[in-house]
Amino acid sequence: MKKITYIVALLTLVLVSSCTKDFEEINTNPNAPNSVQPSLLLRQVLYNFGENMSYEGFVAGDLLSQHRTAIDFNLFDRHALKSPQLGGNPWPIFYRNLRDNEIILKQSRQLSTLKVYEGPALILKAYMAAGLTDLFGDVPYFTAFNGTAGVTTPAYDSQESIYLDEGGILDNLDKGIAAIQNYSDAIPLQGDILYNGNLQSWVRFANSLKIKYLLRISSKVNVSAQLQALYNQGNYMTTNTQNAIFNFTNTAPNSFRLAQLRVGDFNNFVLSETMEDIMTNLNDTRIGKFFRPFAGSTSGQFNGLLNGINSGATSIALSNYSLAGTVFREDTSTLDCNFLTAWEVHFALAEAAERGLITANAQQLYESGVTLAFQYWNTPLPATYLTGNAAYNAPNSTPLRQILTQKWIANIINGYEGWIEYRRTGFPQLRTISASLNNNLIPVRMPYPPEEEALNRDNYNVAAGATDNNSINFPVWWNQ
């Protein structure tokens, strides 16, 4: 009996041991991998961030920059920024893609076969971090992507440190360039829908971003020597073939999102009065690319609406105002998701030259920027455009105003860039909106979203206290 009991016990021990040994294998789904290849993640980050921010740029960014206005569901257009409706909450877009990009960065540093991804991941981290902090100011950054290490309520970092400290925007651009230049293996970069794996294009992209971000903080930091060195080196975007973009298609799921939504959502957005007046004054033919003549027009005219109407008290006849052009709905195959372009870089350099930050021909850079912007929007440049009201030294204007107005025009739907540049420079002059919910003030930052107060309360309270109770009228660091 004792012998039988011993055998049973031994068999039980063997079975338990075997089950324990094989438990992880048995309970692992071979069709659900626990890690994602960086090539797939890179493609996902680039497309997800670009597509979402292009949509945000149309339905929210263009309202703040007064490129277009909303007829209904327009609390955001009236500057109730804590009440996003059809858009206006870019916070999760940034953090979701910064998180996924961090996975790519960690993988590239853990496995030598993935080393090629390090440089692009650092450059993308800098790009998305700049967009985030330029909208919100101080944000969780340095410890924000350490959830696997137990950091679930990250502290807010100052915008100054995010730009200037080690591991921040400018440092990551430098490190990204160095990682690419030091890479000598033959394993290609895959999943790259911006440059098809061309690493030198990523270096040029990073240098162009440095020009943009150095200029953005130039009121707080002496950046002249760095900008001059970048200009002298010449390794920045100079043609539209070097743009950091990907193309939308004419069919779902890769067409521009407004082309996929119901027509009522698309028809909610019309030409703004600000945009109409500026483009009409310049005799700018791109207005026919961006918008359509209003339905009630008898001679192909365009008509804009003042931003921020009270849709509950004002009746608007859609036929009296110009809808967005066919490029945003019927034919999105010529529409790009725009990360950075040669025309934007030229306008940045023209501004730097005009401000005396670099020694260069500001007028030449300006005129090149205008030419590139017309090419980008597939519109022939009129022969007299740069000698008329759009001339560099046009009467009743200033070169700086001309440069920044042209940058603003071309930045339509490019995220929130038009609004950010207006906040930084004051150009072009925007209008007091029709029925403001912000005391007739144009906001100067995005508010932290409600989920931050709920999920990261202690750190949120500190950040809200430092921005006058999360005020949309409290300027970010580079704008103070």
Percent of the chain with pLDDT over 90: 89
Looking at residue 427, its pLDDT comes to 98
Looking at residue 32, its pLDDT comes to 47
pLDDT greater than 60 at residue 21: no
Q: How many CA atoms lie within 13 A of 311 on its CB side?
A: 17
Percent of the chain with pLDDT over 70: 92
Q: Give the Cα separation of 10 and 20 in Å (integer).
A: 15
E-assigned strand segments in 225-377 = 244-247, 269-271, 336-340
pLDDT greater than 90 at residue 364: yes
Contacts of 119 (CB under 8 A, 6+ apart): 176, 177, 178, 179, 180, 183, 199, 202, 203
Least confident range of 134-148, 205-219, 228-242: 134-148
Residues 344-350 have a mean pLDDT of 98
Name the average pLDDT for the chain: 92
Looking at residue 252, its pLDDT comes to 86
Contacts of 375 (CB under 8 A, 6+ apart): 240, 381
Residues 359-370 have a mean pLDDT of 98
Residues 16-26 have a mean pLDDT of 42
Do 129 and 105 touch, CB atoms closer than 8 A?
A: no
If pLDDT is split at 50, 70 and 90, which confidence band does 149 have?
low
If pLDDT is split at 50, 70 and 90, which confidence band does 147 have?
low
Residues 149-155 have a mean pLDDT of 83
Residue 156, helix vs strand vs coil: strand
How many Cβ atoms are within 10 Å of 410's Cβ, its own excluded? 23
State the virtual CA torsion across 184, 186, 191, 197 in degrees, nearest 10.
70
Looking at residue 314, its pLDDT comes to 85
Length of the chain: 480
Least confident range of 10-14, 65-69, 82-86, 249-253: 10-14
If pLDDT is split at 50, 70 and 90, which confidence band does 312 have?
confident
If pLDDT is split at 50, 70 and 90, which confidence band does 1 have?
very low
Residues 393-421 have a mean pLDDT of 97
Residues 148-158 have a mean pLDDT of 85
If pLDDT is split at 50, 70 and 90, which confidence band does 213 have?
very high
Looking at residue 315, its pLDDT comes to 86
Residues 257-273 have a mean pLDDT of 95
State the virtual CA torsion across 466, 468, 474, 477 in degrees, nearest 10.
-10
State the virtual CA torsion across 427, 368, 273, 316 in degrees, nearest 10.
-130
Do 322 and 292 touch, CB atoms closer than 8 A?
A: yes
How many Cβ atoms are within 10 Å of 380's Cβ, its own excluded? 9
pLDDT greater than 80 at residue 35: no
Q: What is the pTM of this model?
A: 0.92
pLDDT greater than 60 at residue 311: yes
Looking at residue 34, its pLDDT comes to 55
